[in-house]
Amino acid sequence: MGTQLEWNERYNIGVEVIDREHKKLFSILNKLFDLGHQEEKSHWVCQEAVKYFKEHAVQHFADEEEYMALIHYEGLKTHQHIHKNFRERTLPALEKELERTGYSEESVRHFLSVCAGWLIGHTLLEDHAIVSGETIKHWENLLPDEEQAVMGQTVASLLHSMFQVDPRLLSDCYGGEKFGDGIYYRLIAVSKEKKRWEFFLIFEEKFIAGTIGSVMNIKSDAVKAMLLHAAGYVARQFVERIKRCFPSLQQFELKEEQLLSYGQFELVYEKQSPQFSMLFDTGKGYFAYCMTSSDQLESTDGAEMIADDAMKEVQKSLNQHGKEQVAAAPRKKLLIVDDSDFILRTMQDLFAADYDVATARSGMSAIRSMAVSRPDLILLDYEMPVCNGKQVLEMIRSDREFNDTPVMFLTNKVDKESVKKALALRPEGYLSKSLPPEAIKKEVAHFFAQKKKRETHKSEA
């Protein structure tokens, strides 16, 4: 789940009411870290701890704003905006994720990584500025809410169209805090007048692995070198699409691209004054998008991205790799069991284009076939001689190795009593041989679609 947050005296700003609440918030997050390690802790316990953290955060914001008003601090409005964003957007979105996933380990980890990163960053930067009398320049160029909303909708739309996800905006004051393992891209565009825009795109690794990686059939959680290159290509395309959406950006040409470590990103980003700085939950991982205008380029040791010609090769390689993986993707295995050669030929012709089809003419042949290659679904004739469908299903269910193999009955008998007897055996389905072939095919496809949906829901729970 993660390590404990260690309180450091440098977090103190010298104002008792603020320092006391900072320590309390750290303590509550550490309690949540502990709960995340203890499987026996209930959903309710985590829920109460999150509620407790939220209540203290909200009270802390109120106390802090009251103190700033009392001393006539010039940065009060900036603090209020940041507090409001975290209180009314970030926390509710994180709570929804926790509820949706039943307080899964992954969602608790997300909650902690965002809240802990936000708390540390806000304490060291914005809160320390209160006692120094300085205003935080990092946020002084944020554009008005109306323009933030337009950019937020544009970015969300692009995420949906490019990655087929449904993103939710968590924050429009993303401060550069770390959220899990990330990939950090910096793209720099320059106009003929030498004006400069910098774009920062931060992908959580699991977001890339679950979107681009799934197309490439890469199963490992680690982001491979090819995924990094593909993600770099996607980052460039993302920025190009942003430019097309806003006429004022179209005069800028991308001149430099960098892949940064988190430390490099942190050093560069803390010196920026972004106009947009957004954090999204895509449902498959986090994504941050930041834009900043500057006249001087800060140098970094980030790796230069590959050149245009190489980018084209990456795209070509990605497309070809995707086609090969789709062509080579394992197909579902069907076992058709029937004593009629005509039925076997008909079913084989019906399903051969979409499934790997095996056939068996008796119950014993079906059991032998299963021992060689376990099917994903058996279509079983209910009225076979010698060993009928009922007996075959009973044999399958009594074998520890095969007892969870899905079975659908095929039968000519559709009278009420026959259907009742068949359903008593609890098969996955009951199909009449008199149905049109496409209707039978549709029922099988529906079975696999529902099975996939259940497995996806189970893995997310």
The domain spanning residue 306 has which CATH number? 3.40.1550.10
User: Among 32-46, 53-67, 77-91, whose mean pLDDT is lowest?
Assistant: 32-46
pLDDT in tens, 93-113: 888 888 888 887 777 777 877
Distance CA 30, CA 11 (A): 16
**Are residues 122 and 242 located together in one domain of the fold?**
no
pLDDT in tens, 324-363: 444 545 788 899 988 888 888 888 889 988 898 888 888 7
The residue out of 84, 107, 136 marking a domain boundary is 136
The residue out of 105, 136, 167 marking a domain boundary is 136
Average pLDDT, the chain: 78
**Are residues 377 and 281 located together in one domain of the fold?**
no
- Written as one letter, the residue type at 104 is S
Strand 377-381 vs strand 333-337: parallel, antiparallel, or unpaired? parallel
- Written as one letter, the residue type at 19 is D
Mean pLDDT of 291-295: 79
The residue out of 284, 303, 328 marking a domain boundary is 328
- Greatest alpha-carbon pair distance for the chain in Å reads 93
Residue 1 · residue 37 · CB < 8 Å: yes
**Are residues 191 and 280 located together in one domain of the fold?**
yes
Distance CA 145, CA 306 (A): 36
Q: Is the pLDDT of residue 287 over 90?
A: yes
Q: Percent of the chain having pLDDT more than 90?
A: 13
User: Among 28-37, 275-284, 301-310, 394-403, whose mean pLDDT is lowest?
Assistant: 301-310
**Are residues 245 and 294 located together in one domain of the fold?**
yes
What CATH number is given to the structural domain containing 31? Answer: 1.20.120.50
pLDDT in tens, 161-179: 888 888 988 888 888 877 7
**Pairs from 26-29 (Cβ < 8 Å, separation ≥ 24):** 26/119, 28/52, 28/53, 28/56, 29/5, 29/53, 29/112, 29/115, 29/116, 29/119
**Are residues 456 and 400 located together in one domain of the fold?**
yes
Range of the domain at 373: 333-460
User: Among 279-283, 361-365, 407-411, whose mean pLDDT is lowest?
Assistant: 361-365
What pLDDT is recorded for position 23?
Answer: 84
What pLDDT is recorded for position 187?
Answer: 93
What pLDDT is recorded for position 379?
Answer: 92
Residue 276 · residue 151 · CB < 8 Å: yes
What pLDDT is recorded for position 18?
Answer: 87
**Are residues 210 and 354 located together in one domain of the fold?**
no
201 φ, ψ (degrees, to nearest 5): -120, 120
**For residues 296 and 379, which has the higher predicted lDDT (pLDDT)?**
379
Supply the DSSP string of 165-198, one letter for each residue.
---EEEES-------SSEEEEEEEEE-TT--EEE
What CATH number is given to the structural domain containing 411? Answer: 3.40.50.2300
**Are residues 300 and 395 located together in one domain of the fold?**
no
Distance CA 294, CA 298 (A): 9
**For residues 50 and 40, which has the higher predicted lDDT (pLDDT)?**
50
Q: Would you say the pTM of this structure is higher than 0.75? A: no
**Are residues 443 and 356 located together in one domain of the fold?**
yes
**Are residues 378 and 441 located together in one domain of the fold?**
yes
What pLDDT is recorded for position 194?
Answer: 85
Residue 211 · residue 165 · CB < 8 Å: yes
Strand 286-294 vs strand 182-190: parallel, antiparallel, or unpaired? unpaired
What is the domain count for the chain? 3
User: pLDDT band for position 300 (50/70/90)?
Assistant: very low
DSSP secondary structure code for residue 90 in this structure: I
Q: Percent of the chain having pLDDT more than 70?
A: 78
What pLDDT is recorded for position 303?
Answer: 42
**Are residues 108 and 149 located together in one domain of the fold?**
no
**Are residues 125 and 159 located together in one domain of the fold?**
no
What pLDDT is recorded for position 201?
Answer: 96
Which residues are CB-neighbours of 451 under 8 A, at least 6 positions away? 406
Q: Give Cα separations from 441 to 132, 352, 431, 433, 452 (angstroms).
A: 72, 11, 10, 12, 17
User: Among 24-38, 136-150, 209-223, 330-344, whose mean pLDDT is lowest?
Assistant: 209-223
**Are residues 271 and 314 located together in one domain of the fold?**
yes
Distance CA 318, CA 227 (A): 9
Q: Could you identify the residue written with the tokens 């051969």?
A: 352
User: Among 205-209, 420-424, 457-461, whose mean pLDDT is lowest?
Assistant: 420-424
Mean pLDDT of 215-219: 53
